[in-house]
Amino acid sequence: MQYLRSKGQILGGNDVMLLASTEMNAPTLPKTGEVSFKMDKAEAHVLKGGNLHDASVSNPALTVNFDQNSFKTSLDVNSNALANGSEHLNANGALDPTTGALRSGIIDSNMTVIGKVANEASHAAYLFNQESTGIVGAASFVK
């Protein structure tokens, strides 16, 4: 952990994953407009009864609104460990225009999101979890 702190910053974590960034300085972000990102990579699991079950991610969406310093995201998590085989997750939240941090709100969100938009909004990443189902994961996005 100390090594990670010396090479960058730890942005957050969930029961399984840690999100870190090598950007040491505050990012330069657009002041206006909206960016819709495409998913680059994702990893998801279902934590149930102390066991970690594999899951996949489909139908990802992430839009950041720089006028309102907000974001909305959604994705589907698919796993045999889920009661219905899949779960639709969504979150709305705030963008910190100084740091690029993404934090989900409790209104209109059924998952928790902690993430960051990188310099020039070139890419973004976040950790997600839904406590009621045991879903945990991470996703990265590109412009």
Residue 19's pLDDT is 64
Q: What is the per-residue pLDDT across 16-26, written as a single tens digit (0 to 9) for each?
A: 665 655 666 78
Beta carbons of 90 and 76 less than 8 angstroms apart? no
Q: What is the per-residue pLDDT across 1-56, written as a single tens digit (0 to 9) for each?
A: 555 455 556 566 677 665 655 666 788 999 999 999 999 999 999 999 989 999 99
Closest by alpha carbon to 60, among 48, 43, 82?
43
What 3-state DSSP class applies to 128?
strand
Residue 25's pLDDT is 76
One DSSP character per residue, 62-78 reads EEEETTTTEEEEEEEEE
CATH architecture under which domain 2-20+34-142 falls: Beta Barrel (2.40)
Can you give the residue ranges of every domain in the chain? 2-20+34-142
Place of tokens 């899951």: 55
Q: What is the per-residue pLDDT across 72-126, written as a single tens digit (0 to 9) for each?
A: 999 999 999 999 999 999 999 999 999 999 999 988 999 999 999 999 999 999 9
